[in-house]
Amino acid sequence: MIVLIVLALSVVSLLLAVSVYLNGVSTPSQAGADDLAAGFLAIIGLVAMTMSMFTLSQSRRQAAEMKIEIPKVMTTIECKKCGIKTVREFQRGDYVYKELDACPKCPDTKQLITAIYKDVKEKEKTYNV
Amino acid sequence: MYVMIREVENSLHKLKFIKEEGRKNAIDAIKEIGKPPVDPTARVDRYLEYFTIGPQSMDPAGIVYKLDHILDVRDTRLKDEVKLMAPASDDVQVNNLENTLEAAMALNFIYKVVRHFYIQGKKTLSLYVIMQIQMILPMVMKEAEAYASALKAFAFGQPIGDGAGPLVAAKLMHGYEIRKLPKDCVMATVPIEGRTALIIKAEGPGGNVGKPGDAVEAVIEENEGKIANVIMIDAGLKLEGETLGEVADGIGAAIGGPGVDQYKIEEKLTKYHIPINAVIIKEDIGDAVSPLRKEINDAVDKVIERVKAVILERTKEGDKVIIVGVGNSIGVGQ
């Protein structure tokens, strides 16, 4: 709420700066003072606008970050006879050492789930210690 | 102080979101798997508020068995609740749903504690009240995020990092005859390096840690204490800077939880003067409750090598050795 008020005030300040610069409020002999006032108003407006926009973008980013990531989990299936190994995405009901359908190469041997894992490529920072 | 309050407030918003997601996930899983005749939302909300009162410790003699009894009652009660909520689910699914609800329960509790300190800090405007929670906030958030990623793993029945111990045990016992042990554990007799290995793990593939204390007690008594060595395999908490999936071995009963199982195992080992060794796979709290990382899965073979080395170094041919894979057997059969 405060951020939005600051943003509105910054817009007002910038408009005032433009108005003072174009029309002026002082007598012709004090024209330099108008430029100075317009400059100050423009600086105040720009700083306030930058700060409020930054705060708004930060809060939007935080809101976007608020989600629970579901990692991709892989299931490794192996045939103990021919050693053929296949990896597919995890399906509900999979568990390690579950027997599946017969191997396509050796019809008399059932395939086995030998591993279920999530493969994340996270490189941990070492901080040089 | 304003900065601290803002920081706690932001984290509280995130915790509220995670907690709500946890609750929603649990309700959705119950509806999908358990096919309840009525909406389980009210029951789930009640479940999330369950508490357990520990035994009185003014006179600590016998407290372990009192705690054991209370934990048994809690376990039975929670399982019964899940069965009522999800009547169409089988035993494996009941265990998985119970784990899902426990993760949601943990998230609910974390949220409420942080909220408590936040409100109290704002009410009293005390720097010290806010500081207490602000200082530990990074660790609290890490734990909450870990539980959040555990929710789906539990609901889908995927193996988690804590299942490293049972995974090793399963690899050793697969293909051999399995028999049940008290409570919710299984055992297989496997020849390893000329010795007889009695391999124990919690029964899978449902989410279950069993009671390895009771199982080890029973096996030692069955063999009249004639056991040359006990080797326990568990996931161990890694320190920052250590590598995920690093394998280390040492001495002692590698088992977490409230301590009841560790006590029972140590009692029996002391009675029969049985040495105990431990092999751990290092991982952090986030990895322990979220789907099993590849690095941990790859460490299984290294653990087996280490176990075999311990057997060769610490026992003689013909000896009997107990090998216990400690942890949650979710997604791990046998």
- Residue pair B254/B278 in contact (Cβ under 8 Å)? The answer is yes
Please report the DSSP string for A52-93 in residue order: HHHHHHHHHHHHHH-S-----EEEEEEETTT--EEEEE--TT
Q: What are B288-303's pLDDT values in tens digits?
A: 988 999 999 999 999 9
Residues within 8 A of B (CB atoms), A 8-67 only = 62, 66
Of A38, A65, A92, the residue that ends a domain is A65
> Do residues B185 and B138 share a domain?
no
> Do residues B30 and B147 share a domain?
yes
> Do residues B119 and B141 share a domain?
yes
- State the complex-level ipTM: 0.88
Residue of B159, B204, B291 with shortest CB distance to A71: B291
CA of residue A77 relative to chain centroid, distance: 35
The band of B180, judged by pLDDT with boundaries at 50, 70 and 90, is very high
Of B136, B156, B176, the residue that ends a domain is B156
> Do residues A42 and A78 share a domain?
no
Give residue B168's domain range.
161-325
Question: What is the distance between the alpha carbons of residues A62 and A54, in angstroms, rounded to a whole number?
Answer: 12
Residue of B156, B159, B291 with shortest CB distance to A96: B159
Q: What are B137-169's pLDDT values in tens digits?
A: 999 998 898 888 888 888 889 999 999 999 999
Number of compact structural domains in chain B: 2
- pLDDT at res. B277: 96
Closest residue in chain A to residue B25, using alpha carbons only: A68
- Residue pair B130/B5 in contact (Cβ under 8 Å)? The answer is yes
> Do residues B182 and B244 share a domain?
yes
> Do residues B202 and B259 share a domain?
yes
CA of residue B286 relative to chain centroid, distance: 13
Of B167, B163, B161, which Cα lies nearest the Cα of B301? B167
Chain A interface includes B152 (CB < 8 A): yes
Question: What is the distance between the alpha carbons of residues B28 and A68, in angstroms, rounded to a whole number?
Answer: 15
In a domain, B333, yes or no: no
> Do residues A58 and A81 share a domain?
no
> Do residues B172 and B31 share a domain?
no
- pLDDT at res. A27: 67
In a domain, A89, yes or no: yes
Segment B20-46 shows an average pLDDT of 91
- pLDDT at res. A29: 65
| Edge-to-edge strands, sheet with B276-283 | B178-181, B185-192, B195-202, B320-325, B229-237, B276-283, B247-251
Segment B240-257 shows an average pLDDT of 92
Of B156, B171, B196, the residue that ends a domain is B156
Shortest CA gap B60–chain A (Å): 42
Of A40, A65, A90, the residue that ends a domain is A65
In a domain, A123, yes or no: no
Residue of B21, B294, B331 with shortest CB distance to A68: B21
Chain B interface includes A89 (CB < 8 A): no
Q: Do A117 and B297 touch (CB under 8 A)?
A: yes
Please state, as a whole number, how many other Cβ atoms lie within 10 Å of the Cβ of residue B151: 27
Segment B231-241 shows an average pLDDT of 93
- pLDDT at res. B6: 81
pLDDT < 70 regions, chain A: 26-29, 31, 61-66, 121-124
Give residue A12's domain range.
2-65
Question: What is the distance between the alpha carbons of residues B127 and B125, in angstroms, rounded to a whole number?
Answer: 6
Please state, as a whole number, how many other Cβ atoms lie within 10 Å of the Cβ of residue B55: 14
Number of compact structural domains in chain A: 2
Q: Is the pTM of this model over 0.80?
A: yes
> Do residues B149 and B261 share a domain?
no
Between A54-58, B177-181, B210-214, the lowest mean confidence (pLDDT) is in: A54-58
Please give the mean pLDDT across all residues of chain B: 92
In a domain, B334, yes or no: no
> Do residues B214 and B308 share a domain?
yes
In a domain, A126, yes or no: no
Chain B interface includes A97 (CB < 8 A): yes
Residue B286 three-state SS: helix
Phi, psi of B194 (to 5 degrees): 80, 0
> Do residues A39 and A79 share a domain?
no
Please state, as a whole number, how many other Cβ atoms lie within 10 Å of the Cβ of residue B135: 11
- pLDDT at res. A63: 62
Of B134, B156, B178, the residue that ends a domain is B156
